[in-house]
């Protein structure tokens, strides 16, 4: 795995919403906009770019 993908995997994006949209960051490196629903564990991973979205307050503040 390259360092750019590793950075995305290690950094969760906090949200207060149960549904989030992801476009991979837009621009030439982006992907079609998709809407994702957080699971019962309070997180969801984009199937295109592997960005991880977590419900605010559920991620350890290490």
Residue 42 placed within a domain: yes
Give whole-number Cα distances, 23 to 12, 32, 41, 61, in Å: 15, 6, 22, 26
Model confidence pLDDT, tens digit, residues 10-49: 689 999 999 999 999 877 878 999 999 999 999 999 999 9
**pLDDT given for residue 23 in this prediction:** 94
Number of domains present in the structure of the chain: 1
* Confidence class for position 62, pLDDT limits 50, 70, 90: very low
User: Do the Cβ atoms of 46 and 5 come closer than 8 Å?
Assistant: no
In this predicted structure, the answer to whether residue 2 has a pLDDT above a threshold of 50 is: no
**pLDDT given for residue 57 in this prediction:** 77
Residue 14 placed within a domain: yes
**pLDDT given for residue 3 in this prediction:** 42
Model confidence pTM above 0.75: no
Name the residue range of residue 20's domain. 3-55
């Amino acid at each position: 795995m390259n360092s750019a993908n590793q950075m995305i995997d290690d950094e969760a994006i906090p949200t207060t919403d149960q549904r989030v949209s992801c476009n991979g960051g837009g621009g030439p490196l982006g992907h079609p906009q998709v809407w994702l629903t957080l699971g019962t564990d309070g997180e969801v991973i984009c199937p295109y770019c592997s960005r991880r979205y977590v419900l605010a307050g559920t991620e350890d503040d290490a």
